[in-house]
Amino acid sequence: MRKIILVMMMWLIWTSSAGAATIESAYYHDNKNWIYPIVHVANAEAERKISYKIQENMDGFVKGLTYDAQYHKRNVLESSMNYEVACNETGGTVILSIIATNSRYYEGAAHPMSYKRAWNFNTSTGNRIGINYLTDVGEGVPVQQIIDRLSAKLKEKAAREGIKLFDDALPLKKLPDDFYWDENLHVHFIFQQYEIVPYVYGFIDVDID
């Protein structure tokens, strides 16, 4: 009996962790302001796909800084890359959601400009999980229904937190490009700086529950 219980416990530990990612931080080009995640998963091909996307983001960011400096003569006073893990959940589909924040501050600019990019991966395959996972291609929820729910939640958030939306922010015409799952498997959408509010409010993150 004791052996059976021990085997069951080991099986539960394995199934609860199988597919979940292990993540460590590293400095890109040894720059301590440029921090990125190194993701490890059980499937080597899945890990390669995830790593490729992260690498693509970093390379694009640094190339953009170089291009602006060379061709637009804009000196960069400060720049940073960072990330957070929003979801690393095991289940029928193991979802890893990473939010990457890139920021740059040009000489003569009034303030830095930053962008948040959300990536959702199936850690079993390494494939990106897009909006079709939520819509009629996946879970059967029409896009317009998500837009309507997001509009309602955004309006509630603005009223609750005293956020001044641009006059033409509502009703929403389309979904933002970036969304993610949090640790409770709630879906969030991210509005970038200046997208629906003045700069002072920063990014607007809306949990549509």
pLDDT over 60 (residue 87):
yes
Helices (H), 37-169: 44-71, 143-161
Read off the pTM. Answer: 0.86
**In the numeric block, which tokens belong to residue 160?**
């609750």
Reported for 151-156, long-range contacts at CB under 8 A and 24+ positions apart, including other chains, are 153/206, 153/207, 153/208, 153/209, 154/196, 154/204, 154/206
For residues 138 and 127, give the distance between their C-alpha atoms in angstroms, rounded to a whole number.
14
Contacts of 144 by beta carbon, 8 Å cutoff, 6+ apart: none
What does the CA dihedral 195, 197, 201, 205 come to, rounded to 10 degrees?
Answer: -60
- Per-residue pLDDT tens over the stretch 37-68: 999 999 999 999 999 999 999 999 999 998 88
Contact 150, 161 (CB under 8 A): no
For residues 22 and 43, give the distance between their C-alpha atoms in angstroms, rounded to a whole number.
12
For residues 183 and 21, give the distance between their C-alpha atoms in angstroms, rounded to a whole number.
14
Give backbone dihedrals phi and psi of 109, rounded to 5 degrees, phi first: -80, 150
**In the numeric block, which tokens belong to residue 4?**
């059976």
- Per-residue pLDDT tens over the stretch 130-173: 988 887 666 678 999 999 999 999 999 999 999 999 999 999 99
